[in-house]
Homo-oligomer: A and B are copies of this chain.
Amino acid sequence: MTDKNIKKNQNTCSLKDVLDIIGGKWAMPIIYHLSKGKMRFKELERTVEGINTRMLVKELKNMDANGIITREVFATVPPTVEYTLTNKGEKLLPSIVSLHTWGQEFTV
């Protein structure tokens, strides 16, 4: 493999990696809402339009595994779980805001 090919693969895979992590239907809306501050599971469930419990559990687990959010459990009765954007997650915000703005300019 030539240097040129290696570089080409790295460039392309990187955008693909990003889309594997946050290209789904829910990650960006969740990040967008968490940018306003930490939220509990129930709050997220109410705030992210159209999501169901199963999808939210799955997406938060992926986002935690990918270092986008942190999950904090408090020993209340019943237990409280809070989700916060990490520094890595916060750095996605400009891209998401920019996609959101594009949407407001161009889609109904």
Contact = CB atoms under 8 A, between A and B. Distances in A.
B98 A95 contact: yes
Given A14-B107, A98-B98, A100-B14, A49 B9 contact: yes
A15 B91 contact: no
Interface in A87-108: 88, 91-92, 94-96, 98-100, 102-108
Q: Which of A8, A18, A28 has the most CB of B within 10 A?
A: A18
Contact of A104 (B14, B28, B107): B14
B91 A18 contact: no
User: What's the dominant secondary structure at chain A's contact region?
Assistant: helix
Interface stretch (A19-27, A37-45, A57-65, A73-81): A19-27
State how many copies of this chain the complex holds. Answer: 2
Nearest to A32: B15
Contacts of A91: 102, 105-106
Nearest to A9: B49
Contacts of A18: 99-100, 102-103, 107
